[in-house]
Amino acid sequence: MPSLLVTGGAGFIGSNFTHWVLDNTDATVTVLDAMTYAANEASLAQLPENRFQLVRGSVCDADLVDDLVSRHDAVVHFAAESHNDNSLAGPAPFIETNIVGTFTLLEAVRKHDVRLHHISTDEVYGDLGLNDPAKLTPQTRYNPSSPYSASKASSDLLVRAWVRSFGVQATISNCSNNYGPRQHVEKFIPRQITEILQGRRPKLYGDGLNVRDWIHVDDHNSAVWTILESGRIGETYLIGADGELSNKTVIQLILELMGQPTDAYDHVNDRPGHDLRYAIDATKLREELGWRPTYTNFRAGLAATIDWYRANESWWLPHKEATEAAYAAKGLCG
């Protein structure tokens, strides 16, 4: 029975990955999480005690990381500060967690010769033009535009260097925007859903024409498992499900699915450096490793996500007031 160490496993994607692994494989999972505001222990409730353990701690804690890595067969590295608006207001935690934390983990897997898969983002590549037919590929030049994406680009380059310089057994994946259950209410889709559930009008940055390439979190995580099992060491795989939609289209679809007029939202000033468009070319992942997404109908996946937030108010409500207060305090209302 393989043993996995999952960093950041109490966050959105990491907690869903933990559920996916326990539901679909015979592996055991240890989650290492600093339990910052974006983590939620409730996301890991009722997991089997004989196959799951939660360790509270930082990925920057070298002694803790070294000990945990030495006792596991593989590491999946989700731990990251990941909210663009927060990186604009205060970049320091992004440098510490995303760069120093990745370095700390790389030194541990190097020492103990443990397999590593590093989770990254399409934002390291910068944005594409709205009318550009091109998509992002593993060969696209890095061009990050925020402290968040710059810190993730830095962590990717560290992984590549440790593979080449020290023979670390690592792969990288860069994924497009995830949606699904257990996502913090600061993020675009759950924020709009919970605003409507609380009787308020959702807010949209600028003209809302910015395009994101949406993928259901379960599809992301099935791809990660495929790469962990079959990916070529040193390679980068882009994960996407051909889900390009403008933010305006998404907010209108949320309103429609929740029984509201599709124009029942407010425009607010755009945020600095707001990337225009992301679009993933996942050909390498699909052709080389045979992966395919399950959630190919965004409308159906979004409806299921709305249903989850309706049914799990106790999960998100404790975080909602603080999230909205933080937006207001920073003057970031969208």
Q: What is the largest CA-CA distance in the chain?
A: 57
- Distance from C-alpha of 302 to C-alpha of 298, rounded to nearest angstrom: 6
- The residue assigned the tokens 């225009």 is 276
Q: In the annotation, is 122 catalytic?
A: yes
33, 81, 127, 148: the catalytic one is: 148
User: What does DSSP say about strands 236-239 and 203-205: parallel, antiparallel, or unpaired?
Assistant: unpaired
- Distance from C-alpha of 60 to C-alpha of 89, rounded to nearest angstrom: 22
Q: In the annotation, is 148 catalytic?
A: yes
33, 81, 123, 219: the catalytic one is: 123
Q: In the annotation, is 142 catalytic?
A: no
The secondary structure of residue 122, as a DSSP letter, is G
Backbone dihedral angles phi then psi of residue 217, each to the nearest 5 degrees: -60, -35
122, 156, 219, 324: the catalytic one is: 122
DSSP run (H or E) holding 45: none
Catalytic (active-site) positions = 122-123, 148
